[in-house]
Chain A
């Protein structure tokens, strides 16, 4: 079964440094999501793409976070500068974007900011 690929699996960085996460969705999936999950809570949406366009970034802290999906396939999420409160799991998901198609998640990047 096709999977959403994410890297790195784990990342430790010092506060004020820059960090980037990469996601490769399931082939053919037009819609891509980045979620953040704090320990003990459910995932929360950061940004949603439809092909290369941002559909929803209302919850993305734009002063430090940026996301791109230049060719409408893989995507990068960046944080600069990282803060202690950014420590979380960053999850990427994709869907066919049609009708009632479900989301398929990758296994995430666990970020620790020290």
Chain B
């Protein structure tokens, strides 16, 4: 079973920041948080991952709370092409496979 909880859907206005929350209250100290997204009819696309520090790359920022029980993926300026299902996954480094939950369906509205 997935170890994360995400809202089933969210809307965001184009050009605004999209903040996608994820709860992982049972996360262990050696488990990483990964984010993927899946655009219709394509395979999941890796976005970002982190252990406890906040991370940023060209696609997004990942904010992990100090107790590591939740995190937020931030798309700073959402575009229509960011409409997708976003998956939050926790996984031990070099551990078991990535277990996907149902994710959050983000709709970016014009």
Binding site for B on A (CB under 8 A): 4, 33, 40-45, 48, 56, 91, 93, 97-100, 102-108, 110
Contacts and interface: CB of A to CB of B under 8 A. Distances in A.
Contact of B43 (A42, A44, A91, A97): A91
Contact of B46 (A91, A97, A102): A102
Nearest to B44: A105
B97 A33 contact: yes
Interface stretch (B66-74, B75-83, B99-107): B99-107
Contact of A43 (B34, B42, B44, B51): B44
A40 B43 CA distance: 13
Contacts, number: 51
Given A103-B46, A104-B46, A105-B43, 11 more contacts: A4-B43, A33-B97, A42-B87, A42-B101, A42-B103, A43-B100, A45-B98, A98-B94, A102-B34, A102-B46, A103-B98
B59 interface: no
Nearest to B98: A103
Interface residues of B, number: 22
Contacts of B97: 33, 45, 48, 56
Contacts of B87: 42
18 contacts: A40-B102, A42-B87, A42-B101, A43-B44, A45-B97, A48-B97, A56-B97, A91-B44, A100-B49, A102-B49, A103-B44, A103-B98, A105-B44, A105-B45, A107-B43, A108-B42, A108-B43, A110-B41
Contacts of B101: 42
- Give the secondary structure class of B's interface: loop
A99 B102 contact: no
A93 B41 CA distance: 15
Contacts of B44: 43, 91, 93, 103, 105
B88 to A, nearest CB: 11
A97 B46 CA distance: 15
Nearest to A55: B97
